[in-house]
Amino acid sequence: MRGPRDMRLSELPPWAKPLDVERLADESAGVDFAVPLEELAALRSEGAPVSGTVSGRVQFSREQGRAVAELRFSGTATLECQRCMQPMERALEVKSRVALIAAEADAPRVPADLDPVLAEGGRISIGKLVTEEVLLALPIVPLHEPGEACAAAAEVPAQEQGSETHKPFARLAELLKR
Ligand SMILES: [Zn+2]
């Protein structure tokens, strides 16, 4: 018998389902994934929009009793340049190893070569794992780099500063006279 909770979970995309990390670690399981970045709530809440897709694989294992996830993924993130508000792309190439801990209190016991990531109740989704890494990999304030076409950095051509931009006001003055 499947309860309502199971039915709701089965409607989630595979990357959004909470995984039982202890079981996967015991099985040395690997999971391939593709995650649409615009679907990651924690990235959206950062303010500037992020889109694109990353794909890769997470390999679970057990090391000295700990559940460990080795995460590799790549893709392209489309961000919004905070200077010109135009799209800009950044390649993502992530490789990291994290220790999945059940409580914050376990963090100090994680060896220095592993980053602790909280898997509350022993469960975490691939989306959450990817979110943590993408937040670290992407710039906090995305800006076009020198050499890239940033619309705000470009000189506004003299033509566009000329009569074109003043026409609407001239037209308005005309309308007001009537
Ligand atoms: Zn720009």
Query: 137 CA to middle of ligand 1, Å?
Result: 19
Give the pLDDT of residue 48.
72
pTM, 2 dp: 0.76
Would you call 17 exposed, middle or buried from its count of C-beta atoms within 10 A (0-12, 13-18, 19+)?
A: middle
Query: Which pair of tokens denotes residue 123?
Result: 């469960």
Query: 79 CA to middle of ligand 1, Å?
Result: 10
Give the pLDDT of residue 44.
74
Query: 141 CA to middle of ligand 1, Å?
Result: 11
Query: 84 CA to middle of ligand 1, Å?
Result: 4
pLDDT in tens, 92-125: 999 999 999 999 999 999 999 999 999 999 999 9
| DSSP assignment of 93-141 | EEEEEEEEESSGGGGGGS-TTSEEEE-GGGEE-HHHHHHHHHHHHS-SS
Does 175 have pLDDT greater than 70? no
pLDDT in tens, 20-53: 999 999 999 999 999 999 999 888 766 678 999 9
Query: 95 CA to middle of ligand 1, Å?
Result: 28
Give the pLDDT of residue 31.
97
